[in-house]
Structure 1
Amino acid sequence: MKKLILAAALATAASGTVAYADEQGPYVTVEGGGVKQERADVRDSNSNFRSDRFRYGWEAGGAVGYDFGKFRLEAEGFHHESWMKSEQTATGLYTRNANTLSGNTYTTAFMGNVLFGLGHWGGVKAYAGGGVGWASIVLHENSAGSVPVNNRDNGYAWQAIAGVTMPVTHNIDLGVKYRYFRPDGTDLFRNAQQNFAQTSLRSHSVLATLTYNFGHAAPPPPPPAPVCNKGPYIVFFDWDKSDITPQAATILDSAIQAYGNCGSAAISLAGYTDRSGTPKYNLGLSARRNASVRAYLTSHGVADGTISSTAYGEANPRVPTADGVRELQNRRVEITYGPGSGN
């Protein structure tokens, strides 16, 4: 039993690094496994003292509760039985057989538990907590060294719990659970002479659990909607040229990538020149620059029908200059997604 308890504790500690349990919903659990009573020291009202030892027994139970995410509230009921192994009295040591020792103990308990957990829905979850409630215990004890006991006591009980679960489906978890149980309010049992025998029963249980979760993991939040950066994206040209330079191509590539977040938005091109040529010539040059940008966009997958262009020539300079001055900042095409560009 000590090895089983240690294994359960190690499994709980190993899974304690998992975090973020934020799902909610009702659940039901069934459980079953082994129980080991601690040595019970018994003293009756005549000051007779003895020490009882028990064999391993069995335990079965279940719980219904609600998972609030990082903690759970549940109502639990269980029953376990153990059989006497030996009894040490003032007159000697008695071991279980038909002539010298027989007996067992039955425990039925109903508990309210608070459990705090780490883990996530659909993954490993560890939990620990405790509970309080009511227990009913029947003690049968018949040995050559003491007055027989066959009596029931009811009263307050408390417990400490730890465990770990793993999913087998989206809603079903398998697990292992450890319970330390103390029915402190159930320690007086009458013997055949109607004298009280005060007995402190303590038990350790290791249980397999099967849990059905009626709730579901909250759906992940939708990804943020892509933001359309409408620009403007500005490409510049060499003097008296409409060719796309390597630097301009880099800017256009970024503009095309950004356009992927803009759906089927219209694209507006606004072409400009500096003031180093005649107004008529510059108007045509700005149109040719628009055409070069348009050709680059369509060659990279942008639909031609979404593109409109306007040639402005010398109008709207980025850097105001005197007539005839060459200025790189004014030799440009501005690309804007959506209506209203180029004004």
Structure 2
Amino acid sequence: MAAPRLPAARRPAARPAGHGIAATALLGLLAATPPAAAQFVSGPYIAGGAGVNLVPDTDLNLDSAAIFGLGRAGYGASGSVGFDPGFGGVLSLGWGFGNGLRAEIEGNFRSNGVDSVSGVAGWAASGVAAGRQDSWGVMGNVLLDLGIFGPVIPYVGIGAGYVVTDWSGVRGVGQDGALGFRVNDSDGRFAYQGIAGLAFPLGFAPGLAVTAEYRFLGTLQPQLQARFDNPTTGAPVARGVVEPDVFNHSLLLGLRYAFGQPPAAAAPAAAAPAPNRTFLVFFDWNRADLTERARQIIGEAAQQARAQRSTRIEVAGHADTSGNPQFNQVLSRRRADTVAAELVRLGVPREEIAVTAFGETQPLVATADNVHEPQNRRVEIVIR
């Protein structure tokens, strides 16, 4: 015999699932703001760098006057000069076009001490040597940023311009002390260069980036006045022009600042998943049909599923402890199937609904056996 009809809902019609709220809170605490996205330079910028400059051994080509004089003295007419590692620095003003292409005007300076003078008159590298090679000039460069790879922007470039090569106090004396070589002269020539570098934009300062570069700079052979003499008497043996090869390998660290750059757009944060929602539908004793209030609750659940774009809805049936456990298991399944059918009628795809039945094994309110408890006669709808 059925008990008098009880109100369908003794609890709130819908409530957030406790574990869903906890999961959402944890995701919010652990979510980190993604780093600001790097951008190509757009508009004017200034850049500078300094570091090590390496000059390979330089071959000396002597003109006809020197060759004639050295030939009369019985000496060879060619040689080489070696250099210590030195300093290189550049300063640039440029313009970025916002698509990775950049153009700039560069001023540069390089300086290396002389390590050895050899070759002329069969000198060995241990011959006495001194002096410096300095160079300074102006270059026009075109550079291309190759892409944005996280926090790094690699780039390459080429340049052309005019560089003055200055040999100051460059001299050498052979091991036998029989011949001295001296150059104090400078000459400017067409210059060319290749550039490869990496830029590391600094997120805390829009427009500012650290740069690391390799630069190769070469010039056409300068013509430098040279003198070959007897280091003891000072008597000239020959005069003429030497034409050294000029090649530089520079490793530079620097800074680049682009004016007026907007703050980098932060990558959009991933939206936190919507919290799980649980709806409770209550049933009369020994019944599996829906009351009007139960249909309202199921309608709210269907609406939430559509708004949340749910991909899984769990429908679980329950029963109180009155009656036979096997009968209660079947009854809880009938209740769950009834709720699932109503959800389908309201437009929820059946394949998104998972139906389970727990009988009297998971009471909402703990009771003794064979107790009529309205809150245990329920179906729980969980929207994930």
Would you say same fold, with TM above 0.5?
Answer: yes
CA distance in 2, matches of 1:112, 1:83: 27
CA distance in 2, matches of 1:219, 1:56: 39
Other-structure match for 2:196: 162
The structure 2 residue matched to 1:91, chosen from 114, 119, 122, is 122
Q: 2:217 aligned with 1:181, yes or no?
A: yes
CA distance in 1, matches of 2:49, 2:86: 14
CA deviation profile, 1:315-339 (whole Å, cap 9, x unmatched): xxxxxxxxxxxxxxxxxxxxxxxxx
The structure 2 residue matched to 1:73, chosen from 103, 111, 122, is 103
Other-structure match for 1:149: 183
CA distance in 2, matches of 1:222, 1:125: 17
Bigger mean CA deviation after superposition, 144-153 or 83-92: 144-153
CA distance in 1, matches of 2:58, 2:137: 19
Q: Report the alpha carbon displacement of residue 222 of structure 1 after superposing the two structures with TM.
A: 12
What stretches of structure 1 move > 6 A for 4+ residues in a row? none
More relative contact order, 1 or 2 (CA 8 Å, 6+ apart): 2
CA distance in 1, matches of 2:115, 2:212: 27
Aligned residues: 222
Bigger Cα Rg? 2
Q: Is the 8 A contact 1:23 1:120 kept in 2?
A: no
CA distance in 2, matches of 1:162, 1:82: 22
Q: Report the alpha carbon displacement of residue 120 of structure 1 after superposing the two structures with TM.
A: 4.4
- 1:104-253 counterparts in 2 under 5 A? 104-120=132-148, 123-140=151-168, 141-144=170-173, 145-168=179-202, 169-170=204-205, 171-184=207-220, 186-192=221-227, 194-217=239-262, 244=295, 248-249=299-300, 251-253=302-304
Q: 2:88 aligned with 1:62, yes or no?
A: no
Aligned-residue CA RMSD in angstroms? Answer: 3.2
Q: Is the 8 A contact 1:29 1:63 kept in 2?
A: yes
CA distance in 2, matches of 1:243, 1:164: 66
Change (3 A) 1:33 1:219: closer
Q: Report the alpha carbon displacement of residue 248 of structure 1 after superposing the two structures with TM.
A: 4.7
Q: What residue identity is the alignment partner of 1:31?
A: G
Other-structure match for 2:271: none
Q: Report the alpha carbon displacement of residue 244 of structure 1 after superposing the two structures with TM.
A: 2.8
Q: Report the alpha carbon displacement of residue 137 of structure 1 after superposing the two structures with TM.
A: 0.8
Partner-residue secondary structure (3-state), 1:93: coil
Other-structure match for 1:51: 80
CA deviation profile, 1:57-113 (whole Å, cap 9, x unmatched): 1122211111223121111111111111112223321447xxx32121110011111
Change (3 A) 1:22 1:175: closer
**Structure 1: gaps spanning 5 or more residues:** 1-18, 224-237, 259-343
CA distance in 2, matches of 1:136, 1:166: 32
Q: Is the 8 A contact 1:30 1:211 kept in 2?
A: yes
CA deviation profile, 1:117-175 (whole Å, cap 9, x unmatched): 13449932211111000001112321124542211111100001111122343232222
Q: Is the 8 A contact 2:107 2:138 kept in 1?
A: yes
CA distance in 2, matches of 1:135, 1:158: 9
Q: Is the 8 A contact 1:116 1:127 kept in 2?
A: yes
Change (3 A) 1:101 1:242: closer
Q: Report the alpha carbon displacement of residue 182 of structure 1 after superposing the two structures with TM.
A: 0.3
CA distance in 1, matches of 2:42, 2:150: 13
Identity %: 24
